[in-house]
Amino acid sequence: MSRIGKVPVTIPEKVEVQVSGNTINVKGEKGNLSFDFSSLVDVKVEEWTVVVKPKNENSKAIWGTTRSVISNMIEGVSTGFTKSLEINGVGYKFEPQGQKLVLAVGFSHKVEMQVPAGLKVEADAKEKNVIHVSGIDKQLVGQFASKIKAQKKPEPYKGKGIRYQGEHVRRKAWKTGAK
C-alpha cells in the first residue's frame, strides 16, 4: 500500500481542478498546468479534494507518484516554487538579463544560459552572490537550478563554485607535505 497515495490532496480556494479522460488540468492564480496520468490509476475530484486510487494490484507502483505530481501542480499554481543558489569565488558572479542568465565562473569566457519559458531568474535584493529561480512547475525549477549548479560545482578545497543556498560542502584539508 502506498502511504503517500492514500492521502487525498486538498484543493485551495482559488484553484480549479478538472479531470477529463487521462488528463488533469489545474488552474490557479499563478498559471495553468496539465498532466497526462497513467491509465492504471483512477483520479477523481470530490468536493475540495483530489483522490487517486489504483485500478488493480499492478498499478500500485505509479499510484504514489501520480498523487505527488498532482499535489505539486496544485501547490505550484497557488504558491509557486523557488530554489536559491549562491556563488562563491573571487570574480564569480551571476547576471540575469531578461530571459538569459550570464555566469562568470572562472572560465576564459562568460557562460550564457537561456532561461526556460515559465521560469523567472532574479538576483537577491540584499546579497549580490545569490539568485532565485522561481516558477510554477517544480520539476522545471529544480532541473534548471541543477543545470546552473552543474556549470561550476563547488570544489572541496576552497569551496569555490555554485551551490544551493544552505547546502553544506564537505571541505578537505590541504596537502601537508613531507615531514
Last residue within a domain, chosen from 51, 78, 105:
78
- 88, 59: one domain: no
Q: What is the pLDDT of residue 86?
A: 94
Is residue 42 in some structural domain? yes
Of 78, 99, 125, the residue at which a domain comes to its end is 78
Q: Domain for residue 123, yes or no?
A: yes
Tens-digit pLDDT profile for residues 41-65: 999 999 899 999 999 888 888 999 9
CATH of the domain at 39: 3.90.930.12
- How high is the pLDDT of residue 173? 86
Q: Given this model, what pLDDT does residue 172 score?
A: 87
pLDDT tens readout for residues 124-137? 989 889 999 999 99
Total domain count for the chain? 2
| Within a domain: 143 | yes
What is the pTM (predicted TM-score) of this model?
Answer: 0.88
Q: Is residue 159 part of a domain?
A: yes
Residue 123: band (very low, low, confident or very high) from pLDDT cuts 50, 70, 90: very high
- pLDDT tens digits along 8-48: 999 999 999 999 999 999 999 999 999 999 999 999 999 89
Distance between CA atoms of 68 and 66, rounded to whole angstroms?
5
| Same domain for 85 and 17 | no
For residue 144, is it within any domain? yes
pLDDT grade, residue 165 (50/70/90)?
A: very high
Q: 25 is written with which cell numbers?
A: 488540468
Measured CA to CA, the distance from residue 131 to residue 83 in angstroms comes to 8
Q: Are residues 102 and 134 in the same domain?
A: yes
For residue 7, the model assigns a pLDDT of 92
Q: For the segment 58-116, what is each residue's pLDDT rounded down to a tens digit?
A: 888 899 999 999 999 999 999 999 999 999 989 899 999 989 999 999 899 999 999 99
Distance CA 49, CA 26 (A): 13
In a domain, 173, yes or no: no
Q: Tell whether 47 and 110 lie within a shared domain.
A: no
Write down the residue that cell numbers 549562491 correspond to: 86
Handedness of CA 91, 93, 97, 99 (dihedral sign): positive
Domain that holds residue 101: 81-164
Q: Select from 30, 62, 78 the last residue of a domain.
A: 78
Closest among 49, 48, 47 to 67, alpha carbons compared: 49
| Same structural domain, 64 and 11 | yes
Same domain, 73 and 87: no
